[in-house]
């Protein structure tokens, strides 16, 4: 039950109705963000045009945020030899969540369950000097999990995940600073996206063979994460059995409007894979490997954004940022010219001509669009447009360049 709500109360019914209306599985399809088809398969959603526009906006934002913070971007294949995942430890500790191998030319290949083994090999592609460290690599790449059909749902549990992943290779004594810097990035991105963390969780090793059996290594990694959380004054909960198989992690938990909690962003300290892949820098020293995901998987992120914003996304993230609304057919040529100028200025814009209904009906149909540009006889004469905001307020004649600047996450 929702906190503070009692069954049968008007407020409880209203909140429940809002939750149902904003369920991303319903609203996401209505908004043309994603869809699924049984011929493709369960847990394999397609990004429709509106969703693809949102995804590109998020990718561009995170890419620039990472670039400004010293990351270099790479691309790696979505599959690798079984031997790669045997080396990384995934095959021994994570095989139940992986797709089975496929045999090609007498060799076995596996769809990757994570990007970290590929980034470890990119690190060791050449000799590294201590002057290069910390080396920060980032990639938005596909990874695949063999989820059972019974747990799949919308965008939150899928088999194909597009993860904003990154790995920092640093001297062990600098790992704490890199963990803290990663948390700074996560908090900046969450603020930009309008996300509030439900809580921070220190996810630790549990019992059984799921975890690498090296208590000393686990203790060293855990000490780094605790040190960072203490220095930041960050409250957190501890949960055994939620760590990665190779080390502990800080999970930033989010909650949907119904109070259901899930993990979005993570930071991990890994002393295991650098040893498994024999990663070194000049002098024979072994780096620490900090895994971090600023916004997590795009599927889960967009599902959360749909429900949090109810489709009324921030202007920089909205699939359509501006709609051009001519009063009548007489203003159509001017409206088409304005549309071209909007597109040239970098706005995601579309035209809603008069043959689609009255001005009021068209405004209601585009109620989630941040900027509604009305073109009447006066605007035709001035060469501008009357800007109406989606909250119903009037902004007057605003230059397109200013609208475009206001619709970007970075000034």
Q: Let me know whether 213 and 301 are in one domain.
A: yes
pLDDT at 15: 59
Length of the chain, please? 411
Q: Which of 248, 281, 309 is the last residue of a domain?
A: 309
Q: What is the mean pLDDT of residues 277-301?
A: 96
Residue 5: inside a domain = no
Residue 317: inside a domain = no
Q: Mean pLDDT over all residues of the chain?
A: 91
Task: Please give the angle made by the CA atoms of 137, 138 and 140, to the nearest 5 degrees.
Answer: 155
CA 73, 78, 79, 84: dihedral to nearest 10 degrees? 30
Q: Let me know whether 261 and 236 are in one domain.
A: yes
Residue 3: inside a domain = no
Q: Let me know whether 222 and 363 are in one domain.
A: no
Q: Let me know whether 285 and 138 are in one domain.
A: yes
| C-alpha to C-alpha distance for 300 and 221, rounded to whole angstroms | 27
Residue 356: inside a domain = yes
Q: Let me know whether 35 and 140 are in one domain.
A: yes
pLDDT at 370: 95
Residue 190: inside a domain = yes
Percentage of the residues of the chain whose pLDDT score is greater than 90: 79
Q: Let me know whether 228 and 360 are in one domain.
A: no
**Other CB atoms within 10 A of residue 251 CB:** 25
Residue 59 C-beta-side C-alpha neighbours within 13 Å: 14
pLDDT at 382: 86
pLDDT at 207: 84
Residue span of the structural domain in which 374 resides: 322-406
Residues ≥6 apart with Cβ < 8 Å to 64: 409, 410
pLDDT at 153: 81
Given pLDDT bands bounded at 50, 70 and 90, which one contains residue 210? confident
**How many domains does the chain divide into?**
2
Q: Are 311 and 203 in contact (CB under 8 A)?
A: no
> Would you say residue 5 has pLDDT above 60?
no
Q: Are 24 and 154 in contact (CB under 8 A)?
A: yes
Pairing of strands 72-73, 135-144: parallel
Given pLDDT bands bounded at 50, 70 and 90, which one contains residue 238? very high
Domain CATH number, residue 374: 3.40.50.800
Backbone φ and ψ of 70, nearest 5°: 85, 15
Given pLDDT bands bounded at 50, 70 and 90, which one contains residue 16? low
Residue 139: inside a domain = yes
Q: Let me know whether 83 and 225 are in one domain.
A: yes
Buried b (16+ CB within 10 A) or exposed e, 262-300: bbbbbbbbbbbbbebbebebeeeeebbbbbbbbbbbbbb
Q: Which one-letter DSSP state was computed for residue 29?
A: H
Residue 316: inside a domain = no
Q: Let me know whether 222 and 367 are in one domain.
A: no
pLDDT at 18: 61
Q: Let me know whether 279 and 351 are in one domain.
A: no
> Would you say residue 12 has pLDDT above 60?
no
Lowest mean pLDDT among 3-7, 97-101, 102-106, 306-310: 3-7
H-state helical runs in 24-134? 24-30, 49-68, 82-88, 90-93, 116-123
| C-alpha to C-alpha distance for 99 and 43, rounded to whole angstroms | 13
Q: Let me know whether 260 and 387 are in one domain.
A: no
Token pair for 281: 């820098």
3-state helix, strand, coil in the chain (%, to 5): 40, 25, 35
Domain CATH number, residue 61: 3.30.930.10
| C-alpha to C-alpha distance for 338 and 89, rounded to whole angstroms | 57
Helix count and strand count (H, E) for the chain:
14, 18
pLDDT at 13: 41
**pTM score, two decimals?**
0.90
Residue 368: inside a domain = yes
What is the Cα 206 distance to its own chain's centre?
Answer: 28
H-state helical runs in 174-277? 175-193, 215-231, 273-276
> Would you say residue 10 has pLDDT above 50?
no
pLDDT tens by residue, 144-201: 999 887 778 889 889 999 999 999 999 999 999 999 999 999 999 999 999 999 999 9
Q: Are 143 and 36 in contact (CB under 8 A)?
A: no
Q: Which of 277, 309, 341 is the last residue of a domain?
A: 309
H-state helical runs in 149-214? 175-193
CA distances from 150 to 146, 158, 369 (A): 12, 11, 36
């Amino acid at each position: 039950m929702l906190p503070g709500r009692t069954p049968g109360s008007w407020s409880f019914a209203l909140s429940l109705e809002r939750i149902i209306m904003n369920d991303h599985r319903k609203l996401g399809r209505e908004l043309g963000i994603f869809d699924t088809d049984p011929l493709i398969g369960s847990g394999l959603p397609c990004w429709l045009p509106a969703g693809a526009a949102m995804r590109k906006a998020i990718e561009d934002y995170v890419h620039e945020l990472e670039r400004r913070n010293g990351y270099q971007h790479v691309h790696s294949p979505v599959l690798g030899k079984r031997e790669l995942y045997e080396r990384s430890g995934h095959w021994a500790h994570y095989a139940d969540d992986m797709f089975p191998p496929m045999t090609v030319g007498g060799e076995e290949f596996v769809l990757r369950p994570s990007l970290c083994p590929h980034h470890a090999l990119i690190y060791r592609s050449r000799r590294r000097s201590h002057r290069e460290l910390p080396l920060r690599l980032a990639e938005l790449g596909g990874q695949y999990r063999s989820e059972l059909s019974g747990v799949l749902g919308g965008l939150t549990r899928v088999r194909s995940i597009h993860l904003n992943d990154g790995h920092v290779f640093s001297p062990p004594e600098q790992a704490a600073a890199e963990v803290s810097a990663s948390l700074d990035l996560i908090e900046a991105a969450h603020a930009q996206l309008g996300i509030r963390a439900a809580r921070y969780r220190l996810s630790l090793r549990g019992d059984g063979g799921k975890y690498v059996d090296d208590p000393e290594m686990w203790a060293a990694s855990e000490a780094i994460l605790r040190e960072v959380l203490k220095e930041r004054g960050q409250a957190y909960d501890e949960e055994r059995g939620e760590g990665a198989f190779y080390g502990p992690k800080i999970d930033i938990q989010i909650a949907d409007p119904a109070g259901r909690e899930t993990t979005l962003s993570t930071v991990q300290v890994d002393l295991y894979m650098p040893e498994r892949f024999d990663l070194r820098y000049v002098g024979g020293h072994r780096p620490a490997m900090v895994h971090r995901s600023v916004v997590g998987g795009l599927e889960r992120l967009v599902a959360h954004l749909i429900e949090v914003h109810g489709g009324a996304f921030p202007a920089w993230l909205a699939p359509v940022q501006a709609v051009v609304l001519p009063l009548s057919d007489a203003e159509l040529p001017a409206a088409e010219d304005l549309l071209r100028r909007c597109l040239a200025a970098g706005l995601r814009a579309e035209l809603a001509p008069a043959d689609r209904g009255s001005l009021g009906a068209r405004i209601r149909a585009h109620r989630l669009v941040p900027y509604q540009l009305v073109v009447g006889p006066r605007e035709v004469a001035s060469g501008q447009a009357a800007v109406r905001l989606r909250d119903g307020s009037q902004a007057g004649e605003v230059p397109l360049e200013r609208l475009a600047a206001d619709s970007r996450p970075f000034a």
